[in-house]
Amino acid sequence: MTSLSLKPCFSSIYTELSNNRGFGSGFLPTSFWVKKDCSLKGKNLIIVKKFEVNCLKDKNMDVKTSALVDGVAECLNEIETKEPSVSTILMNFENKFDPYGAMSTPLYQTATFKQSSATDSGQYDYTRSGNPTRDALESLLAKLDKGDRALCFTSGMAALAAVTHLVGTGQEIVAGDDIYGGSDRLLSQVTPKAGIVVKRVNTSDLQEVASAIGPQTKLVWLESPTNPRQQISDIRKIAEMAHAHDALVLVDNSILSPVLSQPLELGADIVMHSVTKFIAGHSDVMAGVLVVKGESLARDLYFLQNAEGSGLAPFDCWICLRGIKTMALRVEKQQENAQKIAEFLASHPRVKKVNYAGLPGHPGRDLHYSQAKGAGSVLSFLTGSLALSKHVVETTKYFSITVSFGSVKSLISMPCFMSHASIPAAVREARGLTEDLIRISVGIEDVNDLISDLDHAIRTGPL
């Protein structure tokens, strides 16, 4: 980072004060982050980070010096500090849970902690209730999503299950109808057993959402983009609708990650990530996280996490902390590859339709880019033929056939037979989730190799 002298900005005044005490000979730190330029007497003052004026205060400060101080104060009042980017946060996160300043977060692989006395348990007593390694990960994830607190669970589904326990018997959950298959199974086969009413709606249709939300609605649950059909929901407006009825809003943001979208900033109360996906990024750990706004809500969810024993183990937290360091780089490369692959597929004569918010023809593209920084690296497409789709999935060399997404390795699947197989066929068909749908999660390989691989698989398939 370079320092910027204030002399050019205040040249006319500075010359007159150069031999005086105070600003002429004092100290002004000048390396800061700034959101917008600040103009003073026609000169542009570009400052970075937080501005602190360390000048020698002279009891006999003359009028000219006083005028300069007033000018600087007026100028600085307009300055808004800018948060560092995600990539910078990931590399410079201060781990306040490590007293020794270790460059790599220590692994506290312990089930229990020694107490100083029989009546004082200290900060930690039992890892189910808390652990320094988990606290480090949760603190970082809360910062990335701009939440008040984050809670890490043994899986994304464990995290989502905890949220459903905020809803009481007789109350309602309004949920999207195009969501992850595991979430669908939880909402359709498990949650109703507690006497909770679950309403399924197309969350990209605001009228349908508004009609479903009522006095008994406790939770509105959505994805944007949806998995796997990439439908876009207006998070801001849905949050306004829900909050008008005192309902909470949960956004499953696994498909984008905190690099591309921060739903809490759009009005959501809870953001869930399957940490297994883009956050950890290497298909080597199972984890989920809830990032929340509001201390009361955070306490309620922590109580559930502790009571149900669903907190993430220290070693898994450590694996996540190791993987997350490269998240911004990975997501950027994956998205770059995905955009090129989506454009290739959209122009292929044997592909009927491509679902990807980054394509110009996507119906929700403008809305999506008003609430996210990019379209991510998960997309789906239809061939119009189950036989052709099966051939494509089984013929590619560089796309591994597997559920999940967000890995550095490119993955391919047929959701109707894999991630969404638990949804009854008739329900899938009614929702537009057809058997020929192929979902791909684009990795960090050379994009030309990936395109060539897909092209060969598509062209050699049955007619």
Which residues are tagged catalytic?
A: 128, 180, 252, 277
Rounded Cα–Cα distance for residues 413 and 394 (Å):
9
Burial (CB < 10 A; 0-12, 13-18, 19+), residue 300, is: middle
Q: What angle do CA 271, 165, 113 make, to 5 degrees?
A: 80
Q: Which helix (H) or strand (E) holds 199?
A: strand 197-201
Is residue 406 within 8 Å of 277, Cβ to Cβ?
Answer: yes
**150, 176, 221, 299, 327 from 253: Cα distances, Å:** 14, 13, 11, 22, 15
Fill in the DSSP letter of residue 361: T
- How far separated are the first and last CA of the chain, in Å rounded? 59
Token pair recorded at residue 128 = 């189910």
Name the nearest CA neighbour of 198 among 207, 156, 179. 179
Name the nearest CA neighbour of 133 among 314, 322, 323. 314
CB crowding 86-100: b at 16 or more within 10 Å, else e: bbeebeebebebbee
Fill in the DSSP letter of residue 31: -
Report how many helices (DSSP H) and strands (DSSP E) the chain contains, helices first: 15, 14
Fill in the DSSP letter of residue 248: E
